[in-house]
């Protein structure tokens, strides 16, 4: 087991990528703190994983004191803390015309500042265990799509935070910080978004090769498999790194010869 006896906090883990990471962590021998805002789904995953291997905290991550309460739960129930996975995020559409300052601030609060606050709260314990932080980013961090302005900026800032703290905290406290930038992932939320945009329920089975050369998009379980490497001791001294989980290069892609495109409403990535 690659994570035997480790204790890991995973934000936004009642569904999607976070849930998949939590499930894989427990399978690898870890104990986890599940976090989110959906009580029913949170209780369901704790029941699935086992109450001896998981704890649940339901709270908006941006509320004052929420990060510290997550840390306190980990210490109270499991007696230690080895890693934090900052996965909770607002995945919302906006462009230069629709992005108001209050909206922008809210996205930054959830996607960036809450992650920073949790790292701060966890640091005393991560330092004692020589633990690590894994931030879940997006390939949109590099520039983003026109209708993902605030989201893309927040993920770009998270990427800089990961590189900055990955250097500083590793040298000063022995705490590693890394980030994985995921591409388009077939989560429950993505299915709901596409349904709301008027696409058929099986839209993900008919994605043009320009967006998915493999004929499909990523599954949450595949992101979880990649996350384990960074959370495990086998990643050694590696810190301050950002790795893309995408099926095509971000720069220098060849355009489709047949001009195939996907409707604009279906082009959003996670």
Residues taking part in catalysis:
151
DSSP states along 204-244: GGS--TTT-TTSS-B-HHHHHHHHHHHHSGGGTT--S-EEE
User: How many C-beta atoms lie closer than 10 Å to residue 78's C-beta?
Assistant: 21
Write the CB contacts of 183 (distance below 8 Å, at least 6 apart in sequence): 138, 139, 217, 218, 244, 245, 246, 247, 269, 270
* 232 alpha-carbon distance from chain centroid: 17
Q: How far apart are CA 250 and CA 269, in angstroms?
A: 13
Task: For residue 118, give the H/E element and its range.
Answer: helix 114-129
Torsion 154-160-166-168 (CA) sign: negative
Write the CB contacts of 176 (distance below 8 Å, at least 6 apart in sequence): 131, 132, 133, 166, 169, 170, 235, 237, 238, 239
Q: Is residue 55 within 8 Å of 36, Cβ to Cβ?
A: no
Beta pairing partners, 37: none
Q: Is residue 125 within 8 Å of 76, Cβ to Cβ?
A: no
Q: Is residue 160 within 8 Å of 168, Cβ to Cβ?
A: no
Reduced to 3 states (helix: H, G, I; strand: E, B; else coil), residue 8 is: strand
CA atoms within 13 A on the CB side of 10: 31
């Amino acid at each position: 087991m690659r994570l035997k006896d480790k204790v890991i906090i995973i934000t936004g883990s009642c569904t999607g990528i976070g849930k998949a990471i939590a499930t894989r962590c427990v399978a690898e021998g870890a104990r986890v703190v599940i976090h989110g805002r959906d009580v029913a789904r949170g209780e369901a995953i704790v029941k699935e994983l086992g109450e001896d291997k998981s704890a649940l905290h339901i709270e908006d991550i941006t509320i004052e004191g929420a990060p510290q309460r997550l840390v306190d739960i980990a210490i109270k129930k499991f007696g230690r803390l080895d890693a934090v996975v900052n996965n909770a995020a607002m995945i919302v559409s906006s462009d230069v015309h629709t992005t108001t300052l209050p909206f922008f601030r809210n996205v930054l609060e959830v996607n960036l500042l809450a992650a920073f606050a949790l790292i701060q709260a966890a640091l005393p314990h991560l330092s004692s265990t020589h633990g690590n932080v894994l931030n879940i980013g997006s390939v949109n961090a590099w520039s983003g799509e026109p209708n993902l302005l605030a989201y893309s900026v927040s993920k770009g800032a998270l990427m800089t935070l990961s590189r900055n703290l990955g250097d500083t905290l590793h040298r000063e406290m022995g705490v590693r910080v890394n980030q994985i930038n995921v591409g388009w992932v077939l989560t429950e939320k993505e299915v709901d978004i596409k349904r709301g945009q008027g696409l058929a329920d099986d839209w993900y089975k008919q994605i043009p090769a320009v967006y998915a050369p493999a004929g499909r998009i990523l599954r949450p379980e595949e992101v979880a498999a990649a996350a384990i490497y960074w959370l495990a001791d086998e990643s050694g001294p590696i810190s301050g790194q950002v790795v893309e989980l995408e099926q095509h290069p971000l720069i220098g892609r060849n355009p489709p010869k047949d001009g195939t495109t996907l409707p604009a409403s279906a082009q959003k990535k996670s």
